[in-house]
Amino acid sequence: MAHEHHHDHDPHAPVNEAHGMRPDSVLLERALRELLIEKNVFTASEIQRQIELTESRNPELGARVVARAWVDPRYKARLLEDAKAAIESLLGIDLNLTPDLIVVENTPQLHHVICCTLCSCYPRAVLGIPPAWYKSPEYRSRLVIEPRAVLAEFGTALADDVEVRVVDSTADTRYMVLPRRPRHTERMSEAELVALVTRDSMIGVTLVPEPQP
Amino acid sequence: MKPCFAPGDPVRVRFAEPPGHCRTPYYLRGKRGVIERLIGTYPNPEQLAYHRIGVPYQPLYQVTFGFDAVWGRTEHNVTISAAIYQHWLEQSE
């Protein structure tokens, strides 16, 4: 393995040479993948297609959903009622094979923030690959033990009268936060709103920043 | 399995330590909460993990817990919400 160990940042490096992965897990992944191909469980091109699909998912999808919900109350109602159907119809993507999805709305009285204490469940269908900190044991344990302190470390100070609700993605559903629409955005177009929505605000660790004047 | 809890019902998560895979976090076992709503009915993940088909399917609920009910101390205006399968829930007073 040693001769294949990359320390530079080669953008064309194979996906299994990811930085920060332990060499034994890289080896395990490769052995498992080659065995599954050899046993005809799936083909190399099917794996490649799945990697491409996974990489095509990114937080801009979630941002488009949020912006539409901000400008269209009827869409928002559908989104909160049946998130998968509302997202499929807006984005034209197929969520048939992805876990069920629930969108939780942040309001002036209630602030949701999501985590997965058991592993790293994340709304990949609309936010893509989770950030490393989301998967860290520190975030996963501390968010349910001292959520206001964790939020403060993200720079998110909430008033005492705002209920903080930590949503632990324990089972068959994934959660995405519909963040509050910031002030001074009344005249912005839907496209401008999309650009304003951040990944972290859809996890609930931050608020959507007000636009710069 | 038919759903047997309704929104607003007080429940307690069973305290149990079954061997093998399960999706009920340890820190919520034995803790009291309130049913927020029924999410749906799903194959039992404790069986799916071992290549079984997961019958009987289990109703899955969104359950909200007060922070002090979980940790025995107060953190101002905080709740914890988790999805818990019916076979892990029992009626609470």
Q: Note the pLDDT tens digit of each residue in A88-146.
A: 999 999 998 889 999 999 999 999 999 999 999 999 999 999 999 999 999 999 999 99
Residue A115 is a catalytic residue: no
Q: Closest partner residue to B27 among A144, A172, A173, by Cβ?
A: A144
In a domain, A13, yes or no: no
Q: Pairing state of beta strands A173-178 and B10-13?
A: unpaired
List the one residue out of A84, A167, A86 whose CA is nearest residue A121: A167
Q: Is the pLDDT of residue A11 over 70?
A: no
Same domain, A89 and A169: yes
Domain count for chain B = 1
In a domain, B51, yes or no: yes
Mean pLDDT of A58-74: 98
In a domain, A4, yes or no: no
Cis peptide, bond prior to residue B59, ω within 30 of zero? no
Q: For residue A161, what is the nearest residue in chain B, using CA coordinates?
A: B77
Q: Is the pLDDT of residue A7 over 90?
A: no
In a domain, A92, yes or no: yes
In a domain, A85, yes or no: yes
Residues of A near B (Cβ–Cβ under 8 Å) read 100, 102, 112, 117-118, 144-148, 160-173
Question: Measured between CB atoms, does B39 come within 8 Å of chain A?
Answer: yes
Question: Measured between CB atoms, does B23 come within 8 Å of chain A?
Answer: yes
Same domain, A46 and A115: no
In a domain, B1, yes or no: no
In a domain, A210, yes or no: no
Same domain, A116 and A171: yes
Same domain, A31 and A89: no
Distance (Å, rounded) from C-alpha A95 to C-alpha A116? Answer: 21
Q: Is the pLDDT of residue A158 over 90?
A: yes
Confidence at A14, pLDDT banded by 50, 70, 90: very low
Same domain, A95 and A76: yes
> Strand, coil or helix: what is B16?
coil
Following DSSP, what letter does each residue of A129-165 receive, concatenated? SPPHHHHSHHHHHHHHH-HHHHHHHTT----TTSEEE
In a domain, B5, yes or no: no
- DSSP H helix total and E strand total for chain A: 11, 4
Q: Is the pLDDT of residue A3 over 70?
A: no
Interchain CB distance below 8 Å, B45 and A171: yes
In a domain, A5, yes or no: no
Mean pLDDT of chain B, nearest integer? 96
Distance (Å, rounded) from C-alpha B62 to C-alpha B34? Answer: 9
Distance (Å, rounded) from C-alpha A33 to C-alpha B68? Answer: 46
Confidence at A16, pLDDT banded by 50, 70, 90: very low
Same domain, A24 and A101: no
Mean pLDDT of chain A, nearest integer? 91
Same domain, A143 and A42: no
In a domain, B47, yes or no: yes
CATH of residue A74's domain is 3.90.330.10
In a domain, A186, yes or no: yes
Same domain, A39 and A78: no
User: What pLDDT is stored for residue A54 in this prediction?
Assistant: 87
Distance of CA B20 to the CA centre of its chain: 17
Where in the sequence is the domain holding A80, given as residue range(s)? 58-203
> Strand, coil or helix: what is B28?
helix
User: What pLDDT is stored for residue A8 in this prediction?
Assistant: 47
Q: Of B77 and A11, which is predicted with more confidence?
A: B77
Where in the sequence is the domain holding B32, given as residue range(s)? 10-91
pLDDT in tens, chain B (93 residues): 899 999 999 999 999 999 999 999 999 999 999 999 999 999 999 999 999 999 999 999 999 999 999 999 999 999 999 999 999 999 997
List the one residue out of B69, B75, B66, B64 whose CA is nearest residue A160: B75
Measured between beta carbons, which residues in chain B are less than 8 angstroms from residue A148? 75-76, 78
Same domain, A48 and A144: no
Confidence at A20, pLDDT banded by 50, 70, 90: low
Domain count for chain A = 2
Same domain, A99 and A199: yes
Chain B from 40 to 69: CB within 8 A of any A CB:
40, 42, 45, 60, 62, 64
Confidence at A22, pLDDT banded by 50, 70, 90: confident
Other CB atoms within a 10 A radius of the CB of residue A100 amount to 18
In a domain, B38, yes or no: yes
